[in-house]
Amino acid sequence: MNSPELGASISSQVWSPAMYHLFEETSNSSSSSMGTSVMSCKASESEDNDPEAEDKVCAVCGDKANGYHFHVMTCEGCKGFFRRSITKGFRFTCPFVRTCPINKVKRRQCQACRLQKCLDVGMRKDMIMSEDALVTRRVLRTKRKHDRAQKVQQVVEVGSLTEEDEQLISILMDAQKKNFDSSFSKFVEYRPPLRIQKFYWKNSSVPSPQSTSSPGSLSPPLENVLPVDMEPSAKGDQLVDNVLPSDICMVPHFADLSTFMIKQVIKFAKEIPTFQALPTDDQISLLKGATMEVCQIQFNTIFNLETNLWECGELKYSIQDGAMSGFQQLYLEPLLKFHITLRKLKLHEAEYVLMQAISLFSPDRSGVIAHNVIDGIQEKVALTLKCYIDQRHPLPDGRFLYAKLLSLLTELRTLNDENTRQLLHIQDMSSNAMTPLMKELFC
């Protein structure tokens, strides 16, 4: 299936026409990459110190050893003696019969026997580095130590967000503002929401929707409504799961709303240079896996904690609207809890977009090929979120916030899986439950 609209940059074997148009609209030539250079030097003269060095003894003199030197476990004194003797070319002579005892006390009495014992226990001349090599290694070690200290300082000190972190946040914020229509003023081409009034109020103290709701909303709590053909005693306060196809009257409208949100997420992703730089197949895999998660994070920014309504401009949606779209209690109750919990954290806009990026750049999505590259991008975004929270989100709200957000992202992954399962079930009941773009993502 080839399309002249795509050009050479998008594989025509993967995208449907619905996705072609979006990528043509949003593609740009900008690209950049995140990366770090790592300097290393092979330390042949001395291996890493043994963590159990206090229990080790020098193979030459029996003193306390502090690690392997020149291939043998030795103390610092014998290490230095061996290096000096070889590099300076000393020729020692034993005043006796070359059988002097070498131990902690007498090791200085006969240098010839001490050097011979160093060779006998296996210390290697070829592992001795030149003075120039030693100087180079010390410089590299000092630099690595300084770099590690800087990274730690960036995490713990106030104002430690680096220029690179600030640039990343700026890119994500610009992509969000450019493509997420929080007022939903551009959401105009949709099939109208048909909320069939098939509900009665279990509790007379609960106001009717006509008395409390705006024209586009249905506000009474979920547990206070039941289909009129169900007995209250049979269902109690539970959301009814056995919804008939004739009851899912909100399906066409929700399909249009979901498509509108999906388009925004795709455009958001295409504004991120590191996403653009990925292979096309990986871009597709990441979008298929993360789009609904990013939609939910964006949707949380318009969630009203006082009314439990999602306020999309003049349109307002309640959790009951999800029930009238065919979604079941198994999904809707955890979804509402997720939005309430996330909204109570009072996130900054930067924290929302960084959460979206962490979700988008998930290397374990099905079909991903460049795992290491995507994992590196996600790690960078996660560290930036941690630094931002530590420095910009004041206590007490900022306490444990990073851990809470990671937990919510894990919960969102579970909700995403259940959303897909239920969408496919709704599609079986109603053929207009998905638009072509939704089918591209979920089928």
Q: Are 221 and 206 in contact (CB under 8 A)?
A: yes
Peptide bond into 396 cis (omega under 30): yes
Residue keyed to tokens 């008939």? 244
DSSP β-bridge partners for residue 312: 315
**Where in 75-187 does DSSP place strands (E)?**
none
Tokens of 16: 């449907």
Q: Is residue 35 part of a domain?
A: no
The pTM (predicted TM-score) of the whole model is: 0.59
Q: Are residues 53 and 170 both part of a single domain?
A: no
pLDDT attached to residue 208: 36
Which of 156, 177, 198 is a domain's end point?
Answer: 156
- What are the b/e assignments for 306-321, b being 16+ CB within 10 Å? eebbbbbeebbbbbbb
Number of domains the chain contains: 2
Question: Among residues 1, 9, 21, 16, which one has the least CA distance to residue 278?
Answer: 9
**DSSP label at residue 53:** G
Q: Are residues 146 and 166 both part of a single domain?
A: no
Its sign, for the CA torsion 250, 254, 255, 256, is positive
Q: What is the CATH number of the domain that holds 307?
A: 1.10.565.10
Which of 99, 123, 156 is a domain's end point?
Answer: 156
Q: Are 345 and 397 in contact (CB under 8 A)?
A: yes
Task: Provide CB contacts within 8 A for 110, sequence distance 6+.
Answer: 92, 94, 95, 96, 100, 102
**DSSP label at residue 63:** S
Q: Is residue 19 part of a domain?
A: no
pLDDT attached to residue 194: 79
Q: Are residues 301 and 336 both part of a single domain?
A: yes
Helices 349-360 and 401-429: crossing angle in degrees, nearest 10, is 60
Q: Are 293 and 255 in contact (CB under 8 A)?
A: no
Q: Is residue 217 part of a domain?
A: yes
The C-alpha atoms of residue 113 and residue 53 are separated, in whole angstroms, by 25
SS3 153: helix
Distances (CA, A) of 171 to 168, 258, 412: 5, 25, 24
Amino acid residing at 425: H
**Strand 309-312 relative to strand 315-317, pairing:** antiparallel
Residue keyed to tokens 């029930």? 323
Distances (CA, A) of 47 to 87, 142, 388: 19, 17, 38
pLDDT attached to residue 29: 37
pLDDT attached to residue 441: 86
Alpha helices in 34-104 (DSSP H): 76-87
Tokens of 208: 């009717």
Number of H helices, E strands in the chain: 16, 7
Q: Are residues 141 and 231 both part of a single domain?
A: no
Q: Are residues 187 and 82 both part of a single domain?
A: no
The C-alpha atoms of residue 126 and residue 143 are separated, in whole angstroms, by 26
Q: Is residue 106 part of a domain?
A: yes
Tokens of 275: 């996403």
Tokens of 23: 């990528």
Q: Are residues 148 and 107 both part of a single domain?
A: yes
Question: Among residues 86, 138, 91, which one has the least CA distance to residue 112?
Answer: 91
The C-alpha atoms of residue 147 and residue 287 are separated, in whole angstroms, by 35
Q: Are residues 101 and 241 both part of a single domain?
A: no
Which of 122, 156, 190 is a domain's end point?
Answer: 156
Residue keyed to tokens 């100087």? 135
Q: What is the CATH number of the domain that holds 83?
A: 3.30.50.10
C-beta atoms surrounding 346 within 10 Å: 12
Q: Are residues 187 and 121 both part of a single domain?
A: no
Q: Are 393 and 404 in contact (CB under 8 A)?
A: no
Q: Is residue 14 part of a domain?
A: no
DSSP β-bridge partners for residue 317: 310
Q: What are phi and psi of 309, to 5 degrees?
A: -115, 145
pLDDT attached to residue 153: 58
Q: Are residues 408 and 319 both part of a single domain?
A: yes
Question: Among residues 228, 222, 187, which one has the least CA distance to residue 327?
Answer: 222
Q: Are residues 174 and 118 both part of a single domain?
A: no
- Output the tens digit of pLDDT for each of the chain's 443 residues: 333 332 333 333 345 554 555 555 545 433 333 333 333 333 344 444 444 445 789 999 999 999 999 999 999 999 999 999 998 899 999 999 999 999 999 999 999 999 999 999 999 999 998 888 888 888 998 888 888 777 665 555 444 789 999 999 999 999 999 999 999 999 988 888 877 544 333 333 333 333 333 434 433 333 433 333 333 333 333 444 444 444 568 889 999 999 999 999 999 999 999 999 999 999 999 999 999 999 999 999 999 999 999 999 999 999 999 998 899 999 999 999 999 999 999 999 999 999 999 999 999 999 999 999 999 999 999 999 999 999 888 888 788 999 999 999 999 999 999 999 999 999 888 888 899 999 888 87
Its sign, for the CA torsion 71, 74, 75, 80, is negative
Q: Is residue 8 part of a domain?
A: no
Q: Are residues 255 and 354 both part of a single domain?
A: yes
Q: Are residues 197 and 296 both part of a single domain?
A: yes
Q: Is residue 59 part of a domain?
A: yes
Domain range for 100 is: 40-156
Q: Are 330 and 242 in contact (CB under 8 A)?
A: no
pLDDT attached to residue 45: 44
Tokens of 272: 């991120």
The C-alpha atoms of residue 271 and residue 180 are separated, in whole angstroms, by 12
Q: Are 282 and 368 in contact (CB under 8 A)?
A: yes
Q: Is residue 12 part of a domain?
A: no
